[in-house]
Amino acid sequence: MRLELSPRQNVWPLFRLLSPIFAMAMAGLLASLVIMILGQSPQAAFDVYVLGPLDDSWAIQEIAIKMVPLVLIATGLSFCFRANLWNIGAEGQFTFGAIIGSILPLLTQGMGFGPWVMVIALLMGMLGGALFSLIPAYLRAHLNVSEILSSLMLVYVAQLLLDWLVRGPWRDPNGFNFPQTVNFDAGSLLPVLMDDGRLHAGVILAGIVVLVSMIVLSLTLFGFRVKVIGSAPKAAGFAGFSSKETIFAVFIISGSLSGLAGIIEVLGHIGQLKPSISTNAGFTAITVAFLGRLTPIGILFGAFIVALTTIGGENAQIMLKLPLDLTTCFQGLLLLCVLVSDSLTSYQIRFVSDKPSPTTPIEDA
């Protein structure tokens, strides 16, 4: 006996719409069970996880700040994933973008220049991420090297490069040899938008990226090309779409957005380079991209859920003394439920008997 998935004909559109809601309900139910086992009331947990972070301006801003890198990276990844290219190394492109973007703020530190430093730094961050993503793109397009491995391995290269820089050449000379750069000038940092919180201009950039991506993916030939190459490579070939060009294009998009996310994190709220500048956004964004079914609006939603539960998770540790692992567990459950629910909407499960049919020719060993 084994299981086989076969595509359903004619899926009712309402089902597709309801599927994520159903998935969230399932995840909520499972999470409630776990919370009850831990001896807390699911109602209280819901208040703390979901409603708590939404009840004041500061927390809402924190959610937005947390969403920015996730949205940027996941939107970029959605281009790659749609084209069936598995860029797992967004974390590396994020880090490399942060490094390249920090060059100018470091060089001009203490000179009191205006916000043009910040603008150029953002552009250099995008450039850095894009350049770094060209490596797996080239290897894939010309040498057919698996982009999964090459992009993932390059994450460590970027992180170790950052590590070396902040311990060596870029180390703060007055920092007792501790591994970090000087604090950047206020003029190099992203402007803060609110008086009562840390919300920075990166959130506007993320909004623009989502809008532009929506248009590109749904209304342009390029968006169509990405989709065809991903879902029907042969048809794409017949249509004259170059797969090499597309590989480079989607990697550059994804890399530059990851790089932008990196430099936004540095200029938005860290304010200096140090060995760890990331909260694993490059990997979490993979989850976000799939939670959002690879659409920009869905990604906004997915990033919101992840940010909300992360901050809610901190609330839960403080208010209910629930462990951090529960948050991770809940986020995992949610992704699992969304994927299962989507699969079951599009496919049906059949049990197939494993007995070889008599007509199957027996192959020589």
Partner 1 sequence: MKHIFKLLSVAGLALGLATGAQAQEKLKVGFVYVGPVGDFGYSYQHNQGRLAVDKALGDKVQTTFLENVPEPDSDRAIEQLVRTGHKLIFTTSFGYMEPTLKVAAKYPNVHFEHATGFKRAANVATYSARFHEGRYVQGVIAGKLTKSNIVGYVASFPIPEVVSGINAFMLGAQSVNPAIKVKIVWANTWFDPGKEADAAKALLAQGADIITQHTDSPAPLQQAEAAGKLAFGQASDMIRFAPKTTLTSIVDNWNDYYVARVKAQLDGKWTSIDTWGGFSANMVNMAPFTNMPEDVKKLAIDTEQAIKSGKLDPFKCPVYAQDGKEVPCNGKGALSDGQVLGMNFYVKGIDDSLPK
Any residues with CB less than 8 A from the CB of 350 and at least 6 apart, and which?
3, 4, 5, 6
Which tokens belong to 326?
A: 């529960």
Closest of 306, 325, 248, 314 to residue 52, by C-alpha: 314
> Least distance in Å: CB of 317 to partner 1?
5
| DSSP labels, 239-273 | TT--HHHHHHHHHHHHHHHHHHHHHHHIIIII-S-
| DSSP labels, 167-198 | HTTTS-TTSTT-S--PPPPGGGSPPB--SSS-
> Least distance in Å: CB of 55 to partner 1?
6
Determine, following the binding rule CB under 8 A, whether residue 181 of this chain makes contact with partner 1. no
Determine, following the binding rule CB under 8 A, whether residue 196 of this chain makes contact with partner 1. yes
Determine, following the binding rule CB under 8 A, whether residue 274 of this chain makes contact with partner 1. yes
Cβ-based nearer residue to partner 1, 327 or 345:
327
Task: Give Cα separations from 320 to 50, 313, 325, 327 (angstroms).
Answer: 14, 10, 14, 13
Using CA atoms in the order 212, 215, 218, 221, what is the torsion angle rounded to 10 degrees?
Answer: -100
Segment interacting with partner 1, rule: CB under 8 A, options 134-142, 193-201, 243-251, 252-260: 193-201
Which tokens belong to 245?
A: 């060009």
Determine, following the binding rule CB under 8 A, whether residue 51 of this chain makes contact with partner 1. no
Q: How far apart are CA 224 and CA 62, in angstroms?
A: 35
Determine, following the binding rule CB under 8 A, whether residue 265 of this chain makes contact with partner 1. yes
Determine, following the binding rule CB under 8 A, whether residue 243 of this chain makes contact with partner 1. no
> Least distance in Å: CB of 314 to partner 1?
5
Q: How far apart are CA 262 and CA 279, in angstroms?
A: 11
Q: Total number of residues binding partner 1 (CB under 8 A)?
A: 46
Determine, following the binding rule CB under 8 A, whether residue 57 of this chain makes contact with partner 1. yes
H/E run at residue 90: helix 90-107
Q: Decide if 311 contacts 63 (C-beta within 8 A).
A: yes
Cβ-based nearer residue to partner 1, 96 or 251:
96
**Binding partner 1 by CB under 8 A: which of 153, 157, 187, 269?**
269
Determine, following the binding rule CB under 8 A, whether residue 332 of this chain makes contact with partner 1. no
Cβ-based nearer residue to partner 1, 66 or 225:
66
> Least distance in Å: CB of 275 to partner 1?
7
Cβ-based nearer residue to partner 1, 7 or 169:
169
CA pseudo-torsion sign 356, 357, 358, 363: negative
**Binding partner 1 by CB under 8 A: which of 9, 10, 144, 177?**
177
> Least distance in Å: CB of 170 to partner 1?
11
Judged by the rule CB under 8 A, the positions of this chain that interact with partner 1 are 55-62, 65-66, 160, 163-164, 167-168, 176-180, 183, 194, 196, 198, 265, 269-272, 274-280, 311, 314-315, 317-319, 321, 323-325
